[in-house]
Amino acid sequence: MDAVASESLSTATVAENQAMIAQMVKDFGDKEIKPYMREWDEKQHFPKDLFHKMGELGLMGVLVPHEYDGSGFGYHEYVTAILELSKIDPSIGLSMAAHNSLCTGHIFQFGSEAQKKKYLPKLATGQWIGAWGLTEPNTGSDAGNMKTVAVKDGDEYVLNGAKNFITHGISGDVAVVIARTGEPGDSHGMTAFIVERGTAGFKGGRKEDKLGMRASETAEMIFEDCRVPAENILGNVGDGFVQSLKVLDGGRISIAALSLGIAEGAFDAALQYSKEREQFGKSISKFQAIGFKLADLATKIEAAKLLTFRSAELKNQGKSVNKESAMAKYYASEVCVEASVEGVQIFGGYGFTKDYPAERYYRDSKLCTIGEGTSEIQKLVISRAILK
C-alpha cells in the first residue's frame, strides 16, 4: 500500500513539474521567441544569446543532476520541455534537444568525474553551447566507416578529418567528437573526444543553407592536426561508437518529442483556422472532408504521444529503450510530416504563404524523418529487435 501511495505521489509530482515547465516555456516563448522567429528563419540566424537565457531557466541541463548545476529532472519533464518549445519554434526545440541529449548527454553518461565537474556546469547553465560530431560527408547512416582519424602522439591524440550536418558546428563552445582510432568498420575502432572551441586545428566550416530548421545552426566541423590531450577521451579508447549508439537511443526520444511538438503545433493551427474559415455559409471544420482529416491527425498524434512517453518512462527506469525509442522516433516523425502536410492543405492558399504558420511547420517537419537516424534506419533497429 505504501509503495502504491509513493508511486502515486511521484506521478503527481511529475505531472506538476510538466505543467510548470509547459507554462514556463509558453511564457518564455511569447516574450523571447515569437516576436523574432520569422526574422531568424528568413535570415537563417542562430540566436545564441537566447540559449544563454534558456540556460538560466534550466532548459539546457534538464536531465543533469543538481550537483552539476542541472535541473535534475527525468525524461517526462525533458520531453515536455522539447515538445512545448517545438510547438512555438521547431528550430529552437531542435537546438535545445541536440545540446541536451547529444553533447551534454554523452559527457554525463560516459565522462569521468573530473570531466563532468569541468564541463557539465557550463553546459547545463547555458554558459556553453554543445555540439556532437558523428556524421561525415560520406558516412551518414554508415558511421562505422568514418574517415576522421585520431592518432596517438605521446600524451595527445592528433585529429584529422571533417564532420558535417553538425548542430552548432560553428557556434558550439565544446564538442564531443567521435574519431577512428582503429580499423574502418570495427565497432570498437572509434573513440570519443571532448574538444573545446579554440583548440588549435579545430574550426567551423561551411554552414548549410537549409529548407527548414533554419534558426538551428547546421555546419561542418574541421580538424587539421588538432591536438587533443588523452585526458579528454570519454571512457576508454575504442568505446566511442558503442557509446554513440547508446546516446542515440536517448536522442531518439528527443526527436520524437520534437516531432510531437511540430505535429501538435501544426494541428492546433489547422484546427483553429478550420473553425474560423467560412465557405458556403459555414466554417470549413463542419465539412466531413476537413473533419475526418482532423480526426485522423488527432488519433495519430495521441498514439505518437503514448509511444514517446512510454519510452521516457522506460528510460527513467533505467531500462533498454533501443526498440521503443526507435518506434517512437519513427512513428512520431512520420506523423509530424503528415500533420504539417495536411495543415497546409486545410489552410488552402494561405497555407502556402509566410503570413500563416502552416508553411513553417511544413518545412521544419521533414528533418525529423532524417536526423538522428532516418525512418529507414529506425525500421532496421525495430526489425532487428523483434527478430532477435
Catalytic machinery residues: 372
DSSP character string of 23-90: HHHHHHHHHHTTTTHHHHHHHT---HHHHHHHHHTTTTSTTS-GGGTS----HHHHHHHHHHHHHH-H
Instruction: Please report which residue ranges of 89-211 form alpha helices under DSSP H.
Output: 90-98, 105-110, 113-124
Q: Which is it for the CA torsion 107, 314, 246, 379, positive or negative?
A: negative
Residue 239 in grid coordinates = 568505446
DSSP character string of 244-297: HHHHHHHHHHHHHHHHHHHHHHHHHHHHHHHHH-EETTEEGGGSHHHHHHHHHH
Q: Could you give the maximum distance between any two Cα atoms of the chain, in Å?
A: 79
Euclidean distance between CA atoms 45 and 130, whole angstroms: 17
Q: For residues 90 and 261, is the Cβ–Cβ distance under 8 A?
A: yes
Listed residue (342, 327, 334) closest to 370, CA to CA: 334
Q: Which contacts (CB < 8 Å, 24+ apart) does range 18-22 have?
A: 18/76, 18/77, 18/80, 21/73, 21/77, 21/80, 21/81, 21/84, 22/80, 22/84
Euclidean distance between CA atoms 87 and 91, whole angstroms: 10
Residue 192 in grid coordinates = 570519443
Alpha-carbon distances, residue 287 vs 277, 279, 325, 346 (angstroms): 11, 10, 37, 11
Residue 203 DSSP code: E
